[in-house]
Structure 1
């Protein structure tokens, strides 16, 4: 019996030494930044509160732990950056290292299982699609071509605010709708006109706003991937329902676009290709050699444009307006600049100004 105990003890000692050599003297885990302690399995999840708005909590932790800190949320290890210099290091200097994204359950459903530019793997196809996106959609020539469109849409938003002077205005919702109007026209060129176009725009606005809200919802499946198959909160099921609604809209618009494109009506009518036309030609290998994309990828890229170009701008404007209202001195300077540059006529409408087109081009 004593010999058996000695053998077990010796075996355990040898295994312990081997484990130490492998994990302690072998590949060392890079040092992690400081951060709050959590509890086993759940991490820091019980301490972030019930609200979906994490900004106040992250700001509080940033004051305590500095410009970079770690946060264990369930099985996910998160690193929070709240320094401009560190953000630049990650998104610009080391962008190749940090380019792949850990998509949430909702993001995967909304991006057609990572068929888009945002969540797909950074391979050669991704690089090509990104170049097409930047060159055709975000180029100076493309933005200048849509200057009049953007100026008119922004002008309508300004007129709406003026008409509701003295009354509460939901600036975030107004900005979201304004951006969505611009993006829809840049995507398919306003070729869906009349009552049909108004119905599509109204339905599209309703569904997209719900998708954006769902993308920001906390989902337990994201923190514990093993539970994703059960979809306890129904996030995946709900997102797939919204995506089906968007599918119907996209399929309808694409079908009408393909019909007009086959007859050359779009280019002849507008004199410029909209982004959907570029994608359809890319699908048919007409513009980019042997590079082609699927019907699903086209819809996924369009979803990227809609989600990335609406909610971000709405949040930025809403925060900027909140800061202005908290700083009356800066608010007065902004009001004076608007009065000097734009001006208002006796009838309460904007006065044309030679510099206003330049100002609007950056709206």
Structure 2
């Protein structure tokens, strides 16, 4: 017993001594515990925990999570300093056991800034997500949106409820499946459910805390059963992708032998062309293609569905805002047709609703980077290999930068908003550091154009076509600030931040049957 106490005292002394030794260099930090560091201060919603710690120790804090050094920034000024001024210093991304395994160590999203990342960024920007590809698949996006609305219309005829969360994931998944594979995910003979499940499982496990990633001597010990979950996800995903790639390779070989040429190419064709090009800047492998598919499926499916769900949930809780949105749609679109992408520039209030949703409910609540060298920030030293988290969720709710930050007020983003002219001029493309829904700089999301074409149209069509009668899960008690709030706005842990409960509603048609009947026929 005496020996154990002595060892504990030594560990405490070392922790205290190390803290004092670095105190003049590292940003402010709470007292760390031996071995685990500050892990005991983190709850399931890590961006909430970071906000709470920052409120006590300042906007730039240092944490030691096990054996991993972490810096958290919580102001736009620091975000600009770290992500713009020192962009190259923080040009890398964190890795974990789950990320390395599920991305085949070949992910574009998590790759280090270098030749491979630059090559894929160029292909993504000009080929995979360029204007030509977006225009090519415009009819597909319209068709998928109408099919999506048709599901609700069919249910409305018999007064049945619909799980909107699941349908939004299906819509996003179908659109990206069409762009990547020229097929709807529901055309994969029952495998669509595997694909949709994998997307949510991947984003969830990427954001969960795995002790083996943070405490060095636990690296090879699977305390929490993570490795089994990772392997299950990997096997499902790899088997599905291998089947799809092999099938496409056989089709391409058959077409070549029959001298059949298809000018319209999807993502898979483009990537296979690159893989077969012996003169390409970077030689791609099958694992590279599989990793890129995971990147695009997770980025385009989960975050898009989450944004629409949060927006609709806020509108259901704020009927006055919903009514203003419907007045705008009625003025621009009318009730003789369904909103479409060409209407987007004429729907500024819908755009403002999405911006306000990004502010309060960023689908990825923190911008994450990793330093590749030491640097100085505000007189503090941030060592190389330190994880950086810019807490955009916290910045979006800070009264220093937003008037009435806890309120859902799309008007703050309208040009006619004289009272808050600064907010009304903020865009989404990473130039305003209090608002970075798609990141900023070299590592900003390449899918921003696709997102901002499909998101406004989907939201506008949903609120134009239907009223939504909420069906809350049994036993859910709401923490309601006023009588309008009928939905629980609690978040679920993970890399992304969706609502903890699925959104289930009974749709009630608002448009004439002669407008909605053709949609249902799709």
TM over 0.5: yes
The corresponding residue for 2:396 is none
The corresponding residue for 2:205 is 214
Equivalent of 1:34 in 15, 28, 32: 28
Distance 2:341 2:232 in 1: 48
Distance 2:42 2:195 in 1: 33
**Contact conserved, 2:341 with 2:453, CA < 8 A, in 1?**
no
The corresponding residue for 2:269 is 277
The corresponding residue for 2:501 is none
Q: Aligned pair 1:69/2:61, yes or no? A: yes
Count of aligned residue pairs for this structure pair: 328
Equivalent of 2:38 in 29, 34, 44: 44
Distance 1:354 1:122 in 2: 34
User: How many angstroms does 1:249 deviate by?
Assistant: 1.0
The corresponding residue for 1:5 is none
Distance 1:327 1:62 in 2: 31
Provide Cα deviations, 1:38-92, integer angstroms capped at 9, x if missing partner.
322222222323xx32233233334334433233322222222333443344444
- Ranked by relative contact order (alpha carbons within 8 Å, sequence separation 6 or more), the top structure is 2
The corresponding residue for 2:99 is 107
Distance 2:330 2:42 in 1: 44
Residues 260-271 of structure 1 aligned to structure 2 (within 5 Å): 260-264=251-255, 271=263
Q: Aligned pair 1:361/2:460, yes or no? A: no
User: How many angstroms does 1:277 deviate by?
Assistant: 0.7
User: How many angstroms does 1:37 deviate by?
Assistant: 3.0
Q: Aligned pair 1:177/2:170, yes or no? A: yes
Distance 1:275 1:126 in 2: 17
Higher mean displacement: 123-132 or 59-68: 59-68
Distance 1:144 1:107 in 2: 32
The corresponding residue for 1:234 is 225
**Contact conserved, 1:147 with 1:361, CA < 8 A, in 2?**
no
Q: Aligned pair 1:186/2:278, yes or no? A: no
User: How many angstroms does 1:176 deviate by?
Assistant: 2.3
User: How many angstroms does 1:335 deviate by?
Assistant: 2.7
* Structure whose residues are more often helix by fraction: 1
Q: 1:290 to 1:66 in 2, by over 3 A?
A: closer
**Contact conserved, 1:151 with 1:361, CA < 8 A, in 2?**
no
User: How many angstroms does 1:258 deviate by?
Assistant: 1.0
**Contact conserved, 2:141 with 2:454, CA < 8 A, in 1?**
no
Distance 1:162 1:127 in 2: 45
Higher mean displacement: 103-112 or 200-209: 200-209
Q: Aligned pair 1:138/2:129, yes or no? A: yes
**Contact conserved, 1:144 with 1:361, CA < 8 A, in 2?**
no
The corresponding residue for 2:298 is 307
* Bigger Rg, which one: 1
**Contact conserved, 2:62 with 2:70, CA < 8 A, in 1?**
yes
User: How many angstroms does 1:167 deviate by?
Assistant: 7.2
* Structure whose residues are more often strand by fraction: 2
- TM-score, with structure 2 as normaliser: 0.56
User: How many angstroms does 1:198 deviate by?
Assistant: 3.8
Distance 1:284 1:269 in 2: 17
User: How many angstroms does 1:351 deviate by?
Assistant: 4.2
The corresponding residue for 1:147 is 138
- TM-score, with structure 1 as normaliser: 0.77
**Contact conserved, 1:76 with 1:223, CA < 8 A, in 2?**
yes
User: How many angstroms does 1:263 deviate by?
Assistant: 3.5
CA RMSD of aligned residues (A): 3.3
Q: 1:126 to 1:267 in 2, by over 3 A?
A: farther
